[in-house]
Structure 1
Amino acid sequence: MENNKTQLIDATANPAPLGLLAFGMTTVLLNLHNIGLFKIDAIILGMGIFYGGLAQVIAGIMEWKKGNTFATTAFTSYGFFWLSFAALVLLPKTGLTTAPENASLVSYLVMWGIFTGALFVGTLKISKALQFVFASLTILFFLLALGDYTHNDTIGFIAGSVGIICGFSAIYTGMAQVINELYKKVILPIGPIG
């Protein structure tokens, strides 16, 4: 009897640029607020809900279909981070709950810093560009926590500056993947490992 095997070829697009761009652009906007350029408004919250939030969750689900556990975990988690961030700002305005206490906000940021630091370890097997994104994001979360804990405006400004750099590094990494794929050669290097 003949042993017939069917092999499926994945011809779907790479969802990582969508996730990276959604994360990066939303992160830049929030951190322009953190350095004092403007207040949190509908622009940041809209980006947080729809691009930083929903687009990253969609990218994470697409990565799941491709079997990429790291990207599924990262994009889905950070997508829900942005949705939770928007909820933290919006829920107190509804009267359903109070604004977060300083200790709980610091704890929230520390937990995200620990999570991001753990994901950074995974980037050591992927690319130098992602190492930079996750290293700077880890530093950002801990600086934000320290700034909220100490109420030190200088630390808040430094955190915002790190956040802008982090966001632009994610934008670069996402665009590099798009451009390199289109041109079928390395135009914007990301430093793949291995």
Structure 2
Amino acid sequence: MAQPTPDLEKNETMHYEGRDVQRTITPGGHPIDYSQTPLPQFHRKLANPAPLGLMSFGTGFFLTCFLTLHARGVKTPNVVVPVLMLYGGIAQWITGLVEMFSGNTFGATVFGSYGAFNMTYAALYLPAFGVIQAYTLADGSISPELNQAIGLYLIVWMMVTIMFMFAALRTTAAVFATLTFTALTFLLLAINEFTGNDAARIVGGVFGLVASASSWWAAASALWVPDTTFGALQVSPIGMARR
């Protein structure tokens, strides 16, 4: 006599030799699968973030050094604050994060650091941070300590930049020139803050313009590619690594 077939929709259990058999199909007749639904693999390509970081660094540094040279008679540099905060700082932070996700330690460290430099330098001029107010005397004049403190600030960033220079010896001439002239700019502007030497301010400002031009050079070498521009406009960053 044939055994009755269990009704799976009524949650009846099948048996085999006295033992329960695990249900392998749903009441609707579909195979049961308790495993997690696998996520599809996407091979996404990230854009090269370096041109953004190099352009933002060069632009902010160029404007800062232009004002350091008192271009067009401008001696109040506060116009550079929004450029350093919103372009130099944020754009370089974004660049540093993308470089980090891409596995580029050098790019993540350099762009992240200079993004912070742009932010901190701009913060010196913002009343909310109280930096200048802290060095304001009772009579409203600025204490000479402010110049010494800014000089030390620039020396610290010169030391950081020198560390980046050694890490860039096998990169490109454009990147190495950017870091070299940036370090010289920090040094000369620090000397100006320490001593009041006006020649150091002028030479430091000129070196800063060269650093900015080198940064734009490096950015153009990655931005002006065959997909976007004509061959006559393409520039080479001049690789320094041995082949």
Same fold (TM over 0.5): yes
Asked if structure 1 preserves the Cα contact closer than 8 Å seen for 2:173 and 2:237, the reply is: yes
1:162 — aligned with what? 207
Q: Could you tell me whether the CA contact under 8 Å between 1:92 and 1:98 is conserved in 2?
A: no
Gaps spanning 5+ residues in structure 2: where?
A: 1-39, 136-144
Amino acid across the alignment from 1:76: G
Superposition CA RMSD, Å: 2.4
Structure 1 CA distance for aligned equivalents of residues 238 and 43 of structure 2: 26
CA distance in 1, matches of 2:195, 2:215: 28
Q: CA separation in 1, counterparts of 2:187 and 2:151?
A: 9
Q: 2:61 aligns with which of 27, 43, 57?
A: 27
Alignment of 1:86-101 (within 5 A): 86-91=122-127, 97-99=133-135, 101=146
Aligned length: 189
Q: Which amino acid aligns with 1:18?
A: L
Query: Deviations for 1:18-52, whole angstroms, at most 9, x for unmatched residues?
Result: 00000001111000111111234453111010111
Check if 1:134 corresponds to 2:179: yes
Q: Which has the higher helix share?
A: 1
Distance 2:204 2:171 in 1: 26
Structure 1 regions of 5+ residues with no counterpart?
1-5
- For the residues of structure 2 that align with 1:33 and 1:96, how far apart are their CA atoms? 19
For the residues of structure 2 that align with 1:71 and 1:131, how far apart are their CA atoms?
Answer: 13
Post-superposition offset of 1:181: 5.9
Does structure 1 conserve the Cα–Cα contact (< 8 Å) formed by 2:164 and 2:179?
Answer: yes
TM-score (norm 2): 0.71
Greater RCO (CA < 8 Å, at least 6 residues apart): 1
**Higher Rg:** 2
Residue 222 of structure 2 corresponds to which residue in structure 1? 177
* Alpha carbons of structure 1 residues 110 and 68: separation in structure 2 relative to 1, 3 Å: same
Structure 1 counterpart of 2:87? 51
Q: Distance in 1 between matches of 2:184 and 2:130?
A: 32
Change in CA separation of 1:123 and 1:7 when aligned onto 2, cut-off 3 Å: farther
TM norm structure 1: 0.88
